[in-house]
Amino acid sequence: MTDDERQRLARLLPNLKRRASIHQITRCFFDEQGFLEVDTPVRSPAIAPEKEILPFESDGWFLTTSPELYMKRLLAAGYTRLYQFSHCFRKGERGRLHNPEFTLLEWYRIGANYMDMMTDAECLVLTIARELGYGNLLQYRGKTIDLTIPWPRITVSELFHRLAGWDPVLNPDLSRFDEDMVVRVIPHLNPYRPTIMLDYPAPMASLARLKRDEPSVAERAEVFIGGLELANAYSELTDAKEQIERFHNEIEHIRREQGRTMPLPQKFLESLEHLPECGGIALGMDRLVMLFCDASSIDEVMPFTVDTV
Amino acid sequence: MEVEDCRKGTKVLLDNNPYNIEDAEFMKPGKGRAIYRFRFRNLMDGSSLERTYHSGEKLQEANITTREGQFLYREGDHFVFMHTDTFEQYLINETQLGNKQFYLKEGMIITTLFLSDRPLDITLPIFIETTVTKSDIATRTDTVTAQMKRATLATGLELDVPVFIKEGDTLKIDTRTGNYVERVVTKK
């Protein structure tokens, strides 16, 4: 062991201890509400095809990019409240806020919608803050963030109109959307409060259902705190026909633009007709820990990154 | 090369000019496209610029190498160097060398940065020793502070030196700052 590694790991100790506490508090939070913790496969023959998420291949199968499909298969079989800490893998994602292997916390509730999932997220973060002794105020990167709930909610349409000067719901330009999101929108969110972004343009619905009275937007919401994209929630799409069509479109795009072939996740699609209305959310555990460790880089909250393995 | 493989320190060609990536930022909305924001430093003139790339885009890698060379002589506004291994000669012009030209002594060994076969820049030793060719006559005043005067060295550098320095003295100079370090006593 080099002195560098010994010192690096010694410096991480306070953050890793805090990380363990956050995991414990999170487990208590869900256990007390009757959620069941599950552990689904990390390696699978098929995953959700998503054009902007590049999976690692493993002996002809894929490393999971999210536990979503397995969680929904459980819900379709009658499970009602589930949560999971899942190691996920996304190729090429490396930066201050990314490591190709990271931890997602996902939870699902039967009978809930995306707004209910946002309420869960608010309560979870506030519970962790209080258990760690912060109360409602959190210091992050030199700013005091007021976590008092409810957190401000704003539609994607309104926010883009205000910060990027155009409306992605009226005019869904996908590539411009992503660049403006990271360059013009996220850096200019209110730094003193969390922000909940609601109602993504329909082409960015992913696995969320479209709004019944306003089908140009999807019931999808995201939480941002301290400039970090923390969690992404859906009113889950339960319409098997629409889901197959969306997957086909993604698979075709991936084949045409990237020359990769992706199989359809058949078992998941077969289970969809039994999936009751439900809400689901994926939260980046590493980033949540970053917030509570005042860490500027994901490297400060994991013992080994892709650069130190 | 793929934009995914570019990181801090990667040398690339933009509009045919060599740049070093000084800062690389990876940004990506969870479900969205990866965006790479680079800050580049021009290896020729030191200017900097920022550009944004998307995954799938390509950059042209610059073939940058370093080789040992010896400074031979100056010819007009060019400086003539020689590879120490092949004895082939190459030229670097005055503008490219900038202030570094004032530290070059004939016979000096330096490191040269090449873009393919094109010499871009040199790295000097930290200290050089050279002789004084011209110095003002000190005008003594009644102060207790160290007295300095202007002097010109054999390499062309002008600098402040202590008043006791005479023409023909050998001086040690710090090439990072251009400052006088000490007088070198040469054994007769």
Domain-terminating residue out of B90, B107, B123 = B123
The structural domain count of chain B equals 3
Instruction: Judge if B157 and B175 occupy the same domain.
Output: yes
Burial class (CB in 10 A: 0-12, 13-18, 19+), B126: exposed
Chain B residues whose beta carbon lies within 8 Å of the beta carbon of residue A181: 29, 32
pLDDT above 90 (res A138): yes
| Most distant pair of Cα atoms in chain B: their distance | 77
Is A247 contained in some domain? no
Contact B29 A181 (CB under 8 A): yes
pLDDT score recorded for residue B144: 61
Cα–Cα distance for residue pair A41/B34, rounded to 1 Å: 26
pLDDT score recorded for residue B187: 62
Domain-terminating residue out of B82, B102, B123 = B123
Find the range with the poorest average confidence among A50-64, A184-198, B122-136: B122-136
Is A224 contained in some domain? no
pLDDT above 70 (res A283): yes
Instruction: Judge if B51 and B73 occupy the same domain.
Output: no
Domain-terminating residue out of B73, B93, B123 = B123
Alpha-carbon radius of gyration of chain A: 19
Mean pLDDT by 10 residues, chain B (188 residues): 89 90 93 93 86 90 91 94 94 89 93 89 91 80 71 92 91 92 80
Residue A247 Cα, gap to closest chain B Cα (Å): 14
Question: Domain with A64 in it: what CATH number?
Answer: 3.30.930.10
Range of the domain at A289: 3-146+260-300
Is A25 contained in some domain? yes
DSSP string, B51-103: EEEETT-B-EEP-EEEEEEEEEEEETTEEEEEETTT--EEEEEHHHHGGGGGG
Question: Domain with B9 in it: what CATH number?
Answer: 2.30.30.30
Contact A206 B31 (CB under 8 A): yes
> Which of 152-211 (A) contact B at CB < 8 A?
174-175, 177-179, 181-183, 204, 206
**A98 and B34 in contact (C-beta within 8 Å)?**
no
- Nearest Cα to Cα of residue B170 among B110, B128, B107: B128
Residue A94 Cα, gap to closest chain B Cα (Å): 7
Is A159 contained in some domain? no
Contact A183 B27 (CB under 8 A): yes
Q: Going by C-beta distance under 8 Å and a sequence separation of 6 or more, which residues neighbour residue A250?
A: A49, A50, A51, A262
- Nearest Cα to Cα of residue B55 among A249, A88, A206, A254: A254
The structural domain count of chain A equals 1
Chain B residues whose beta carbon lies within 8 Å of the beta carbon of residue A50: 31
pLDDT score recorded for residue A3: 87
- Give the ipTM of the model, two decimals please: 0.88
Is A235 contained in some domain? no
**B151 and B134 in contact (C-beta within 8 Å)?**
yes
Instruction: Judge if B68 and B23 occupy the same domain.
Output: no
More confident residue, A75 or B146: A75
Structure tokens at A91: 């190729």
Residue A203 Cα, gap to closest chain B Cα (Å): 11
> Which of 93-152 (A) contact B at CB < 8 A?
93-98
Q: What is the pLDDT of residues A209-264, one digit of tens each?
A: 999 999 999 999 999 999 999 999 999 999 999 999 999 999 999 999 999 999 99
Contact B32 A98 (CB under 8 A): no
Q: What is the pLDDT of residues B70-125, one digit of tens each?
A: 999 999 999 999 999 999 999 998 888 888 999 999 999 999 989 888 898 899 99
Range of the domain at B80: 64-123
pLDDT score recorded for residue B56: 82
Contact A232 B54 (CB under 8 A): no
Indicate the residue of A96, A175, A229 with minimum beta-carbon distance to B30: A229
Residue B81 Cα, gap to closest chain A Cα (Å): 40
Residue A79 Cα, gap to closest chain B Cα (Å): 27
Mean pLDDT within A285-302: 98
Instruction: Judge if B119 and B134 occupy the same domain.
Output: no
Exposure on the CB side of residue A31, measured as CA atoms within 13 A: 6
SS3 B37: strand
Contact A182 B26 (CB under 8 A): no
Mean pLDDT within A93-106: 96
Question: Domain with B166 in it: what CATH number?
Answer: 2.40.50.140
Cα–Cα distance for residue pair A307/A252, rounded to 1 Å: 34
Instruction: Judge if B91 and B110 occupy the same domain.
Output: yes
- DSSP character for B32? S
- Residue of A182, A237, A258 for testing the chain B interface, max B β-carbons within 10 Å: A182
Contact A95 B33 (CB under 8 A): no
Instruction: Judge if B14 and B34 occupy the same domain.
Output: yes
User: At CB < 8 Å, which residues of chain B contact A?
Assistant: 4, 25-35, 37, 52, 54-56
Average pLDDT in chain A: 96
A292 touches chain B (CB under 8 A): no
pLDDT above 70 (res A308): yes
Indicate the residue of A179, A282, A284 with minimum beta-carbon distance to B52: A179
pLDDT score recorded for residue B45: 78
pLDDT score recorded for residue B148: 86
Residue B33 Cα, gap to closest chain A Cα (Å): 5
Contact B35 A183 (CB under 8 A): yes
pLDDT above 60 (res A31): yes
pLDDT score recorded for residue A248: 97
Cα–Cα distance for residue pair B188/B185, rounded to 1 Å: 9
- Nearest Cα to Cα of residue A125 among A283, A280, A295, A15: A283
